[in-house]
Amino acid sequence: MRRTLLLLLPLLLLAAYACDEQLPAEPEAQATGTSAAAPSQAMVPANTTVSVIDACYDNGGSMYAINQPGLKPECKKNHGQLTWNVQGPPGPSGPQGPQGDPGPAGAVTVLTVSEQMDLTPLWGGEKLLSCPTGYTSTSGGWLLVSPGSSDWASLYQAGSFKVLDSWKWKFKNWSTTVTFRVLLEVYCLPKAS
């Protein structure tokens, strides 16, 4: 019985400790020990961080933990002591797992094609920017580069739209004195294969 108890004690104590449950800490249970049928009640209190567990046992099969917060620091006279680590050494690596499912497609880089264009006084017209071969246009935009004056209200965009693998803008400059410089950009993505 004693040999079986000594073999099972580390496993029972470790199992109760791993469950992280609060165990009874009645003074009489710790002073007299617990029966061999309920060794897990002599465990380390919950929410305690320890790396080693110390326990004591007597010839009658009783056991109790020591050297933990709120517990006695040593075994009673004529009681044996056991000590073991809470966590043992790492085990060997497991076998290779099965091949996983293919992941989603990776990120796609957007290619930007840009060009500056001067819109002279009273000019009206359109401009087309094309994506390189193998790419298709997804959207386009423009930015007024110069001048930064209040005359910008004279600049009118009549349209901006996709044409095959290109982007087209239609502008009208109603100013009689100001030339506007605009930066045109078309955003291109690789064509699906």
pTM of the model: 0.44
Q: Are 157 and 171 in contact (CB under 8 A)?
A: yes
Higher pLDDT, 96 or 84: 96
Q: What does the block give as tokens for 125?
A: 């017209």
Number of C-beta neighbours around residue 117 at 10 A: 16
Strand partners, 117: 182
Confidence of residue 45 (pLDDT cuts 50, 70, 90): low
* ∠ CA 23-27-29, rounded to 5°: 65
How would residue 42 be classed by pLDDT, with cut points 50, 70 and 90? very low
Is the pLDDT assigned to residue 67 strictly greater than 90?
no
Alpha-carbon gap, residue 150 to 181, rounded angstroms: 14
State the Cα–Cα distance between residues 95 and 100, nearest whole angstrom: 15
In this prediction, residue 24 carries a pLDDT of 40
Does pLDDT of 65 surpass 90? no
Closest residue by Cα to residue 9 from 71, 72, 62? 62
pLDDT, residue 50, reads: 67
* Percent share of the chain, pLDDT over 90: 25
Could you give the percent of the chain with pLDDT greater than 70?
Answer: 71
Residue 178: pLDDT over 90: no
